[in-house]
Structure 1
């Protein structure tokens, strides 16, 4: 899979832009603030339906414009697919595949990418929300239908939480409130269990490629490990921590039926607290991904270099898993201003690993940060203007 062409209209600092990309290594170079990251942000949007930088789509629309147009031609084997989305300041976004209107989530079926960006450091050093976002984006990249399940789950959490808040003023013991809450419980459990099982499978499948990728980047085996801390088990085990270890590499697989029962029991255990606080306390939206090096938490113990290497290895592991499973071929690899954060050795080892993928797109402010020895399709960016330089070695 590769991006053949990208067209933008009124997106970020681009009134109009046309970008041609090749198979292999593509370098987008230019000073900071010229629009390099905006280009790869647009590309990755088709894979995740959101920006890696901002939470609101409206922030990506050019100032003074009512909408932005993103159009991308994707080559997968012998087939080309044209994906298009219109981001609107007012009203719902609109999406098309080959000129046919579709639901936005359909776009993720046709394009997969894995982005490496400075923001990735928050996966290992930030709060749980960043790690949950990584898990959700990874699930969508691995199985596009997951975007619908995640969207449905988030909708249920919002509506269930709204009911809990209103219950505080209506009376906690109201029979009508409790009956309605049980309806939302069923939906929360249904969608939540699907997400939890998919996350557990993902964590297990990332274990081996994570270890291999970390060793390839660092040259040493520091025993990188992943495990899930799942809030469903807090109420059952009656511990004081907000979450406890849920799914670790090598842990026994829990059936859907068992997890459903555990989820329902946990909701009953925290019912009083939820009604008192007006918050949904149990479910995937409260879980965390635990990261370890040498049996110590990465957060708080790992050095800056180790933290960066772990984040990069995690993304490489995800790309490896997708590559092995996807009938459409390799995911597109995007490295957004990453080399500036790494020493020369890690730059070269990272590029050696990702060069095995069908297409790599790199942004850099300083061309000297980019490893040598590759034939690059080179694009220069200056004040929102693109200059195609073609291949150079």
Structure 2
């Protein structure tokens, strides 16, 4: 797959820009602050409906404008596809496929497959668990778009259940003796939460199993191979499956949970939620569920977070994205145009020469690689191809 055309209207710094692209390597070159990252951010949004730089859509709309529009023309084998996303302030976003009638934005998930690596991805290693949970869920959406709905439903139920617990804590005054009305209501939300949580946990565990070989291989290729990178999953489920008087927030064993079906996980969650109820009422929030789980990265047997050097941290973050790329590519079993678009945003300036060359060798064969750089000399020779110069006026000049 490759992006043939990209058009932006009122997106970030661009009032209007139309860009034609080709397969292979394209490097966007220009001083910092001129809008290079805005271009690749737009492509990333077209594939994931999210930004790698901000958590909300508001900053993506050019200041003073009411909406932003991203249009992309994609080529996959012999097929051509046009996508459009309209990002609106204060109301639901809309999308179009091949200029048809508007659809929900999430209906285009999976059509534009891309993998984006940026300096912000260091948070995948150094940051709190929320960054790693989002990594897994975003990849799940790309592999199986239906999980966007599961994820949204889980977050909606979690919000409602937390509101109920907070209300009981603040206004109920009955934590030691819950009312029948509260118990009846919380049990309904327990069931809803357990059903969505079980689907999400099951999918994450399967994803971890599938990505593990690619993750280890990618890290080995990026480094001298002296340390092994492994990923494990720590669930909040297990600590509340015992009696509520002795339960703790310890992790449930990954190798046990991965053997369970979705209905079996639903029952586990219902048991754990019942055991955790008194603590949840004390704290006014939900203590059991995928929102409290952790993707644990281990490098050479030690936690990568806190123990990895700066160079190792970069390599681990890169390995996570490259493993995602391999997984998405392999899912198509070698079909024409199966390669996701690979985006490297301001990466090479931060890598030493050895890692630069190794990364360049690994990605040079992708169907389309989009790279941003402030200094052209930072780009290894292996990534020869088109250069697009981004200048102060926003004009883009392509040079072969």
CA shift for structure 1 position 384 = 5.2
Q: Distance in 2 between matches of 1:56 and 1:2?
A: 27
Aligned residues, how many?
A: 390
Q: Residue 219 of structure 2 contacts residue 315 of structure 2 at CA under 8 Å; is this kept in 1?
A: yes
Q: Residue 19 of structure 1 contacts residue 386 of structure 1 at CA under 8 Å; is this kept in 2?
A: no
Q: Among residues 351, 354, 358, which one is paired with 1:349 in the alignment?
A: 358
Q: Distance in 2 between matches of 1:375 and 1:275?
A: 60
Q: What are the within-5 Å matches in structure 2 for residues 201-212 of structure 1?
A: 201-212=206-217
Q: Which runs of 4+ in 1 moved over 6 A?
A: 238-241
Partner of 2:282: 276
Deviation track 1:144-179 (CA, whole Å, cap 9, x = no partner) reads 111111111111111111111122213441222221
Instruction: Note the residue ranges of structure 2 that are not aligned, 5 or more in a row.
Output: none
Q: Distance in 2 between matches of 1:237 and 1:182?
A: 18
The answer on 1:156 being equivalent to 2:162 is no
Deviation track 1:170-211 (CA, whole Å, cap 9, x = no partner) reads 344122222121111111111111111111011111111111
Instruction: Note the residue ranges of structure 1 that are not aligned, 5 or more in a row.
Output: none
Q: Residue 243 of structure 1 contacts residue 287 of structure 1 at CA under 8 Å; is this kept in 2?
A: no
CA shift for structure 1 position 251 = 7.9
Q: Distance in 2 between matches of 1:121 and 1:155?
A: 29
Q: Distance in 1 between matches of 2:216 and 2:366?
A: 19
CA shift for structure 1 position 323 = 0.5
Q: Among residues 357, 362, 367, which one is paired with 2:371 in the alignment?
A: 362
Q: Distance in 2 between matches of 1:155 and 1:65?
A: 29
Q: Residue 23 of structure 2 contacts residue 368 of structure 2 at CA under 8 Å; is this kept in 1?
A: yes
User: 3-state SS of the aligned residue for 2:328?
Assistant: helix
Q: What are the within-5 Å matches in structure 2 for residues 27-42 of structure 1?
A: 27-42=27-42
CA shift for structure 1 position 237 = 5.8
Partner of 1:339: 348
Partner of 1:232: 237
Deviation track 1:307-361 (CA, whole Å, cap 9, x = no partner) reads 1101111111111111010356111100000111101111111111112221110
RMSD: 1.8
CA shift for structure 1 position 243 = 4.5
Q: Distance in 2 between matches of 1:199 and 1:18?
A: 38
User: 3-state SS of the aligned residue for 1:352?
Assistant: helix
Q: What are the within-5 Å matches in structure 2 for residues 244-393 of structure 1?
A: 244=251, 246-247=253-254, 253-326=259-332, 329-383=338-392, 385-391=394-400
- Distance change (3 Å), C-alpha of 1:219 and 1:241: farther
CA shift for structure 1 position 389 = 2.4
Q: Distance in 2 between matches of 1:318 and 1:237?
A: 36
Deviation track 1:37-95 (CA, whole Å, cap 9, x = no partner) reads 11111100012111111111011110111111111111111111111111111322121
Q: Among residues 196, 201, 220, which one is paired with 1:191 in the alignment?
A: 196
CA shift for structure 1 position 386 = 3.3
Q: Residue 30 of structure 2 contacts residue 374 of structure 2 at CA under 8 Å; is this kept in 1?
A: yes
CA shift for structure 1 position 247 = 2.1
Partner of 2:69: 69
Q: Distance in 2 between matches of 1:336 and 1:56?
A: 20
Q: Residue 334 of structure 1 contacts residue 361 of structure 1 at CA under 8 Å; is this kept in 2?
A: yes
Partner of 2:8: 8
Q: What are the within-5 Å matches in structure 2 for residues 93-132 of structure 1?
A: 93-100=93-100, 101-132=102-133
**Normalised TM-score (structure 2):** 0.93
Q: Distance in 2 between matches of 1:246 and 1:68?
A: 45
Q: Residue 211 of structure 1 contacts residue 221 of structure 1 at CA under 8 Å; is this kept in 2?
A: no
Q: Residue 211 of structure 2 contacts residue 323 of structure 2 at CA under 8 Å; is this kept in 1?
A: yes
